[in-house]
Structure 1
């Protein structure tokens, strides 16, 4: 793990594979750290002939924390978003996209294939639209255009995401709390073993734990608005992957994202929720392999009205 300055922040990152190979940049989702990308997923992309860079977004992991912004009121932000009132946030998804582009620049990478999951998919979408000269291709996984009117999380998923552990929670209690959250959002057809789940959570907690940062990221998503007008401007090859059983960002959001990006290919995976379960890594890698090597034919679709 290394750290570099990008967009005025300290950004923690890891680089895997040969630096001379074409670059793939991985952007993780809400509150998640770079270690949330499974090792076999990283290894698989490296074996496909690419250099892989993964990093901690601002307010997560070992990257800079926006502590000066304090902790926003999540209930107030949620209420405002539901009724369409503007949100004030310390930063937006555009700022986070600039972080990612700044990281590439700091590492001397002129262009990269960009893969984003959940909030990371939103950031990747912004990069592809606003820096087309830097983004060779886009993969948006379990993400959304944030169009108003799209279905939202199930009640169970929303409750799991909004629930917070007690302030004086022990390490074991934090692990149990986070495991319950992952279970509520995960793939019903591809459950992760308790042992692996607890190992992943302990690894993340051993690096960092910034609950206020998670809230600031959530508010940033809401304050950034939708990308309905932005997505049709994306010109690079695009692959949209979404789970049919996603309880947090329903599959309709993936369908909508793909419909807005000209020529985007949509792959819906039955039984997949809002995670990257071990049982699906090989299948997802196969889709990415074809996509990155330019062998995936674009889907032709009319643009929505």
Structure 2
């Protein structure tokens, strides 16, 4: 099912952005575009995705923009406790030495451990990125749910069309069989063929059996009812609907193969069109 979501979050050290989009796919196929330095986050992202989605080709892109000037998160950090300790040590030594050399502030700053470069808290970054992804995924699911409601209405319209075709064929079937019986009798009379009445009745029964599509019509009704029931269920229903589309198409093909008049042939064609329209839409359903 298609969908898109974008979430942005401002942090003291920069801006995080997740963009998640999905397109139709029979199975779940996730793709992540994240910096190599954060690649360790991918297993958790995949796990979160699998828990909430079952179908679709998912592309998730993460963007991180660090602040260019941020005294809190970048630049140099001075270890002030160590500076104080060094200053006190120098004062103590100067008291014991008659000719002490002056020690500059630069000398103190050059002492190992006094100055260090402030590092970004990676654990905090990973936590924020994972939290923001959950928000983006929630937005994507909401988008897909809204689209799902529209697809449900479209499928229900096609199901109504199938019901109408089945009703029409069922109403015409007795007349079709009677017309075929009369047509066969007229043909026999025109060629003045002498046929045993019992044999004629047997041929008529065989013809009626070949043209009888009551069973197919009943199965079409059953499958339509099952599709309607499935649409009301919660959770993942896409694969179940895929199977039902195959069954509906199977019955429409049988109806077409048994057709002996243009009315049932046309009905079978209309059924196939409606079923194909539904099948295309079902590919969009989770």
Same fold (TM over 0.5): no
* Structure number with larger C-alpha Rg: 2
User: Which of the two has greater helix per residue?
Assistant: 2
Place the TM-score, normalised by the shorter chain, in its bin.
under 0.3
